Amino acid sequence: MKVTIIERVEAWSGTRGITQQKPDRNGYVTNKVEELGEYAEAMKKNDVNGIIDAIADSMIFDMTELLKMGMDIELVLEEVLCVIESRTGAWSEKDKKFIKNDSPEAKLRWHIPNYIENCKAKNPKSYIGDLFEESSC
């Protein structure tokens, strides 16, 4: 059976005792800021590998923080996709981002997420063991 990327992140963070810790706002923010700094440095140098590494490291921090909260990463991603897919709007070339339509009519169609009810991990695991050993790295 092939191990998914999410299972590998769960195993990696579990074997290192990361997901057994309480969510830590200061540690999380510190790590995210550090990765943003690495991203900015890589952008200045046009270092594509550095840019990708900083983004990917940041994603791992996000996933481990969700695991600490007892969330199922895949369910969280599904829920947030329901949220963003329910919004209308348009890309703004001026602002270089998607500008959502926040009119009262549009807001009536927005999906209202309930991460606590819909995204809790069914069986939070202790990840000491086999999954991590199946890594292809």
| 66 contacts: CB under 8 Å, gap ≥ 6 | 73, 76
Q: What values do phi and psi take at 123, rounded to 5?
A: -135, 80
Please indicate whether residue 129 or residue 102 has the higher confidence score (pLDDT). Answer: 102
How many secondary structure helices (H) and strands (E) does the chain include? 7, 2
Q: What values do phi and psi take at 89, rounded to 5?
A: 155, -155
Listing DSSP states for 34-93 in one string gives HHHHHHHHHHHHT-HHHHHHHHHHHHHHHHHHHHHTTB-HHHHHHHHHHHHHT--EEEET
- What is the arithmetic mean of pLDDT over 110-129? 77
Residues 10-48 pLDDT 10s: 889 888 888 778 887 888 899 999 999 999 999 999 999
Tokens representing residue 124 in the block: 């939070």
Q: Which of 88, 130, 127 is nearest to 109 (CA)?
A: 88
Q: What is the pLDDT of residue 124?
A: 65
Q: What is the pLDDT of residue 25?
A: 82
At residue 129 the predicted structure's pLDDT band, cuts being 50, 70 and 90, is: very low
Please indicate whether residue 134 or residue 128 has the higher confidence score (pLDDT). Answer: 134
Please indicate whether residue 127 or residue 58 has the higher confidence score (pLDDT). Answer: 58
Q: Which of 62, 65, 73, 63 is nearest to 22 (CA)?
A: 65
Residues 57-91 pLDDT 10s: 999 999 999 998 889 999 999 999 999 999 999 99
Rounded Cα–Cα distance for residues 127 and 8 (Å): 9
Q: What is the pLDDT of residue 106?
A: 96
- What is the arithmetic mean of pLDDT over 125-137? 42
